Amino acid sequence: MGSEHHSLLFRTSVRWLSRGKVLARLFELRHKINQFLSSQNNHHLHQYLEDDRWISKVAHMPDIFEHLNELKMQVQNRNILTCSDKLKGFKRKIEL
């Protein structure tokens, strides 16, 4: 179809793609995916890819997940107090 990407990857042989990367790939390929889903009989998911409001939410999600990954909440020897502080700071950042 002339796209830079030839497939929508969900995992690699080494590790699962992060949620942010999957969403970024979905956003990049949204037109091609919509075209494919529209061609399938009885498939209603293409309606989401035609909804501008839903697409605008998907466009912001990779950035949010990238920031969440930077928090590194699943590191060994991390306690609830430091995690709580990082989450409060992240919430303030998101509000801005």
Give domain status of residue 50, yes or no. Answer: yes
CB burial class (10 A; 0-12, 13-18, 19+) of residue 84?
A: exposed
Q: How many domains does the chain have?
A: 1
Residue 74 maps to a domain:
yes
Supply the range of the domain harboring residue 85: 19-95
Q: Is residue 4 part of a domain?
A: no
Q: Does residue 51 fall inside a structural domain?
A: yes
**Domain presence at residue 25:** yes
pLDDT at 53: 92
Asked if the structure places residue 2 within a domain, the reply is no
Low-confidence ranges of the chain (pLDDT < 50): 13-14
Rounded to the nearest 5°, which phi and psi values hold at 29? -100, 15
How confident is the model at residue 87, as a pLDDT?
A: 82
The reply to whether 32 falls in a domain is yes
pTM: 0.56
